[in-house]
Amino acid sequence: MFEREIELIGKDKFERLKKVSVMVIGIGGVGGYAVESLIRAGIHNIIIVDFDIVDITNKNRQIIATDKTIGKKKVEVMKDRIHDINKDVNVDIIDYKLTSDNIEDIFKYNIDFLIDACDDIKVKEQIILKCLKNNIDFISSMGTGNKLNSSLLKICELKNTSYDPLAKRLRKFAKENNINSKIWVVSSEERPIKTNNSKVLTMNTVCATAGLLCSSYVINKVIDMGG
């Protein structure tokens, strides 16, 4: 199954991918693609976190959203999809809504890397604090709403983001909390498109690219571990 990848990176580096544990918070337009990519790259230990069910409105951007999955729990659908790709993957699921009051619970798991693809600003803030405190390598997806140009997404430090309202709020949070550590994010340099719609509007290509960049960060960090 992984012959072409092993030829590319070598057996030792592939074994590193099999051994690490990755948590993905949010299995939506960004997180779903991140999980898919991680599994197809050879990650064998994954923890997926989401409280929501698949809705028909998810079909424009979420890899798990089909007519057959509408109404089902996202974590259960994602787990089934993971095992359809690789039955040997160890999958833990957390299917409740994260809040500032219960977020400590998820850090009881063994986590080597964490991808934050949730859309709750307060939870994102707590993830940053907890990951820094526990020395967990993480990357956080910033805003993908009202944007069209996926080529303007990039992996960068939070302090270097621009035209991203969510990142702006997190920069303020980092400053207020005297956080000087590097905070790696996936963010777009595209200005959000203004519309007359009060909803956050989304394009599949932007969400998917953000998810793939998140997984790329993790995969390449693992491959580079130890040289």
Dump pLDDT digits (tens) for 171-202. 999 999 999 999 999 999 999 999 888 888 99
pLDDT in tens, 32-84: 999 999 999 999 999 999 999 999 999 999 999 999 999 999 999 999 999 99
pLDDT band of residue 167 (cuts 50, 70, 90) is very high
Instruction: Say which CATH number the domain at 121 has.
Output: 3.40.50.720
- How many domains does one find in the chain? 1
In this structure, the number of other CB atoms found within 10 A of the CB of residue 161 comes to 22
DSSP notation for 163-221: S-HHHHHHHHHHHHTT--S--EEEEE-SPPPP-S-SSPP--HHHHHHHHHHHHHHHHHH
Domain boundaries, position 11:
3-224
**CA pair distance 10, 6, nearest whole angstrom:** 5
pLDDT in tens, 77-98: 999 999 999 999 999 999 999 9
CA distances from 119 to 134, 141, 179 (A): 22, 9, 21
Q: What is the model's pLDDT at position 100? A: 87
What pTM, to 2 d.p., does this model score?
0.97
**Is residue 227 pLDDT above 70, yes or no?**
no
Q: What is the model's pLDDT at position 226? A: 62
How are beta strands 153-157 and 184-188 bridged, if at all?
antiparallel
